[in-house]
Amino acid sequence: MDTRLQKLRDWAQSDLHESLLPWWTAHIMDGKGGFYGRVDAGGVPDPDADRYLVLSSRLVWTYSAAYRVTGRPEYRALAEQLCEVFVRWFHDDAHGGFYMAVDKDGRPALDYKFVYGNAFAVYALAEYARAIGGAGALSLAEDTARVMDGKIYDPVYRGYFETASRDWAWTPTVPGMNRGKDDQKTMNTHLHVIEAYTNLLRVSDDPRVRSRVRELLYTFLNTITNRDTHHFHVFQDRAWAPVTPEQSYGHDIEGSWLLAEAAEVLGEPQAIGDAAPVCVNIARAVYDDGFSECGALHTEYDPRSGEFSNGYTWWEQNEAVVGFLNAWQMTGEERFLDRAVSVMDFAKQYFVDREQGGWRAHVLRSLAPAQGIDKATRSICPYHNARMHLEIIERTDKLKQ
C-alpha cells in the first residue's frame, strides 16, 4: 500500500478506537440508559441540558457505522442503546418525524420540525438498519422520508423548506439552516437530505427514494453548484436564485464526495458520468482557493469583503481529508492525496486534545485553541471525525483488495 494511505489508515484506526470513541462513550452516556445533551469545555457533562436532534441522531449514526465497519460488539451495544432512547424521546407518534429538542426527561422542549435534523434522523436510522438490521428502524426512516416529502417538499420549485410546526405546516418565520425568511432554501439542508436519502436507498427498495436521490443530485449539479466558480451557492430563495455570494469550503469539499457517493449508490451510468466532472472540479476549486498559509481549510469566504472566517473548525478539516482522498481515487492526481495527508497532520496537531481527551471544535487563526467551546452540544459530535476514520478504513480496505 502507498505509504501515504498507510499513514492515513494507521491514524484512523488508532484515533477511532483509542481516543475518539472511548472519549465519547465515557462522557456522553449518562449511566442510566440515556445520554447527555452537553459536555462542557472541561469534559464535564451537564445533566440538565436539553438533548438536541442533530447531536442525538448523529450519535446513533456514529456507533451504528462504527459497528458496521469494524464489527466491534461494544459499538453495537451502544448503537442499540442510543437508538432505543433516541426514538422513544424524539419521535412524534402523532404527526410523524422528530422533535427539535427534548428535555432531560425526554419530554419535548422544542416540538417544531427542523428539516436538517429530520434528515439526520433518516440518515441515522438507515445506518442502524444497514449495520444491525431490524424492520423497525428502516420502517421509521422510510416513514420520516414520506412525511417530509408529503408535508415540507416544495412541489413548485423542488427541494425542501427549512422548518415546520409540529404538524408539518411550513413556518418561514422560524429559522432552520437559513438566516431568515428570505433564505427559503439552503445548500446545507439539501446536502444532508441527499446524504440521508442516499443512505436510505442502500437499504430501501422504495422507488420514491430512488427518484428523490436522482432529483436532488441534479438539483446540486445544475442549480446549487455555481458552474463558473465550482463552489456551492449557500443561500437561495424559493426558486433557487442565490441571495448571497459567500463560499463555504467545508460544505464544498464534503459535497464533492457525497454527490459522487449519491451517483454511485444510484447506480445509473448517466448520473455517474454527469456527477464525476462536477465533483472533481469542486475539489480542484477548494484545493486552489480554500486553504490558509498554515495548511488549514478555511470555513467561509465573502468575496464582497475579501474576508475569511476567523479561525478553523474541526469538521471542515475532517471533510477535506475524505474529499481529497476521494478526488485522488477519481482522478489519480497525486496532489489530492498529498493534501489529504497534510490536512490530517494539521488536525492531529491542533484539534486532538491530548490534555483532556476528545477533539477541540474550534481553533483560532493564531492556532491557539478557542476557549470555552463545549466538547459536545447541539451539533458538536463525533459524526464528522468518526466518519472520516471509517471512510479511510473502508476505502483502503477496498484498495487493498
Q: Would you give the DSSP letter of residue 114? A: E
Q: How many percent of the chain have pLDDT more than 70?
A: 100
Neighbours of 309 (CB within 10 A): 16
Q: How many domains does the chain have?
A: 1
pLDDT value at residue 135: 86
- CATH number, residue 141: 1.50.10.10
Partners of 186 in the β-ladder: 235
Cell 436507498 belongs to which residue?
A: 201
- Whether the full predicted model's pTM is greater than 0.85, yes or no, is yes
What is the widest separation between alpha-carbon atoms in the chain? 54
- As a whole number of angstroms, the distance between CA 343 and CA 320 comes to 7
Residue (of 286, 281, 161) closest to 221 by Cα position: 281
- As a whole number of angstroms, the distance between CA 108 and CA 2 comes to 50
> CA 179, 183, 188, 193 torsion: positive or negative?
positive
Q: Is-contact 300 309, C-beta < 8 A?
A: yes
182 falls in which pLDDT band (50, 70, 90)? confident
AA identity, residue 250: G
pLDDT value at residue 181: 80
State the average pLDDT over residues 369-375.
95
Q: Is-contact 97 115, C-beta < 8 A?
A: no
- As a whole number of angstroms, the distance between CA 74 and CA 67 comes to 8
Kindly tell me if the per-residue pLDDT of 57 is higher than 90: yes
What distance, in Å, lies between the first and last C-alpha atoms of the chain?
A: 11
Q: Is-contact 5 399, C-beta < 8 A?
A: yes
> pLDDT digits over 251-295, tens only?
999 999 999 999 999 999 999 999 999 999 999 999 999 999 999
Structural domain of 61: 3-400
Q: Does residue 16 sit in helix, strand or coil? A: helix
pLDDT value at residue 180: 81
> pLDDT digits over 138-180, tens only?
999 999 999 999 999 999 999 999 999 999 999 999 999 998 8
Characterize the bridge pairing of strands 108-110 and 362-363: unpaired
* Three state DSSP letters for 152-192: CECCCCCCECCEECCCCCECCCCCCCCCCCCCCEEHHHHHH
Kindly state the cell numbers that stand for 4: 501515504
Mean per-residue pLDDT over the chain, rounded: 97
Task: Sort residue 297 into left (φ over 0), alpha (ψ -120 to 50) or beta.
Answer: beta
132 falls in which pLDDT band (50, 70, 90)? very high
Q: Is-contact 396 1, C-beta < 8 A?
A: yes
Enumerate residues 6+ apart whose C-beta is below 8 A from 339.
287, 320, 324
- Tell me the backbone φ, ψ of residue 289, rounded to 5 degrees: -110, -20
47 falls in which pLDDT band (50, 70, 90)? very high
How many Å separate Cα 69 from the centre of its chain? 18
State the average pLDDT over residues 324-348.
98
Kindly tell me if the per-residue pLDDT of 303 is higher than 90: yes
Residue (of 103, 99, 136) closest to 121 by Cα position: 99
Strand residues in 92-248 grouped as ranges (E): 101-102, 108-110, 113-114, 163-164, 185-186, 225-226, 231-232, 235-236, 247-248
